[in-house]
Amino acid sequence: MITLPLNLGPMTLVAIDEITSVHPDILAIWDSIGGDLPTEVQPRIEAQAILDHLSLFPITLHKCRNKTYCLTGICSYQVACRQLPNSMKIPVRYYEGRRGNQFDRLLITELATCPLIYRKPHSVVGWLFKVCSYFKDRDSKYSILKCDLNKSAFAKSIGADVRGIH
């Protein structure tokens, strides 16, 4: 069954310095499964090109304990923080729901679906397996791949070597 709504508000503009940091739940997941925030060195990108990218793929924000956090679009958020003035307003959308299934779907999309789409899946097979296992352990009903969650089936489903999963 396909469910579309994710409680995302309309695109709006928010100053970079109004965003506290990456969402604490994302940081906790990275700590739990042994990952790190993406820190690839980015080439200098023209401000207009960054804003055009963010217009097509706005960062998703979530208000939590009176602070505003980046929930999805973390790499884009990091580029904006490093390369744009802190006072510059950037395109964003707010997640307007509560923690639960829709919130988990956003986290899974950020941590697993995006790497599957934007990277070569075999290069991040271990990471992806850990993310999917983490959410399966939380009894999430949401899945990103049509396969059983065992190392062999998972690796096969993305065309990767099972030895890449530790």
Is the pTM here over 0.85, yes or no? no
Confidence of residue 3 (pLDDT cuts 50, 70, 90): low
pLDDT digits (tens, 9 = 90+) for 18-66: 999 999 998 888 888 876 666 565 678 899 999 999 999 999 999 999 9
Total Cβ atoms within 10 A of residue 1: 3
